[in-house]
Chains A and B, each alone.
Chain A
Amino acid sequence: MNYQLTNFTFLARTAPYGTNRCNLLMDIALASSVFEQKSNYVFMDDAIYQLLRNQNADHIQTKTFGKAIEALKLYGINNIYVLEKSLTERSVSLDELVLNPEIINQQQLQELVRNSQNVISL
């Protein structure tokens, strides 16, 4: 598979709650879309949990991240991937996730990173 040359690849690596890193990465991505940058957004490691359907963060007085992250597509970020290894490690299947991401393996991840001018990992 050949991936297009892109300006940004965003690597989401953290769980949706507990730290604000997922929010920071999403905010950078949304800001980049305003400048019509071509971007990839990859969910790996505990960031798999960012995409789980039916999250409800009302109990911790926080915005539900699983809803917020759906804005990526509205902002024109359509290259959305999940790392196969991270799904398997956590016994999470694709139909449990929002945003309908494409599954990639580690070799494909390497290629995405290699073809990107900027990689931001949070």
Chain B
Amino acid sequence: MKFSVVVYASPYSNEAAASALKFSRAVIAKGHSIYRIFFFSDGVHNANSLAITPQDEINLQAEWHDLIDEQDIDSVVCVTSGLKRGVIDSQESEKRNLDSSSMMSSSELSGLGQLIDAYANSDRVLSFG
């Protein structure tokens, strides 16, 4: 089955983000595929590349990045949500004369059309948060 995962929840303050990650791993482990991961609203914080966590705690952003990168999953950060929250890729950062970028290279900034496309092309879409 082809799944898409929509993450509304920010990491750490809500378990939904961690559940989304575990669900995505389980989908792949069971031999299904992920059509797209879509980080929306506070969920964009899951794609922040500048997060540092204490040594004995999970770094959800790094875990997301590893999963997306290793499995070559299509992963989108909602551009409107991301820019508002300072989750920004190097291209946008340069365009807007900012000091730095803050987004995992495994995801790309794009619009809500990608979410509608995910609904159109997945057997199941699961929302977290």
Contact = CB atoms under 8 A, between A and B. Distances in A.
Contact of B125 (A7, A24, A32, A118): A118
B115 interface: yes
A32 B8 contact: no
B128 interface: no
B115 A31 contact: yes
Nearest to B122: A118
Nearest to A121: B127
Interface string B29-68: 0000000000011000000000000000000000000000
Contacts of B119: 7-8, 32, 117-118
Nearest to B80: A27
B: interface residue count bin:
10 to 19
A1 interface: no
Contacts of B111: 31
B98 interface: no
A6 B29 CA distance: 33
Contacts of A120: 127
A24 B125 CA distance: 16
Interface of A: 7-8, 20, 24, 27-28, 31-32, 34-35, 37, 117-118, 120
Interface of B: 8, 40-41, 80, 111-113, 115-117, 119-120, 125, 127
Given A27-B112, A35-B120, 16 more contacts: A7-B119, A7-B120, A8-B119, A24-B8, A28-B115, A31-B111, A31-B112, A31-B113, A31-B115, A34-B113, A34-B116, A35-B117, A37-B116, A118-B119, A118-B125, A120-B127
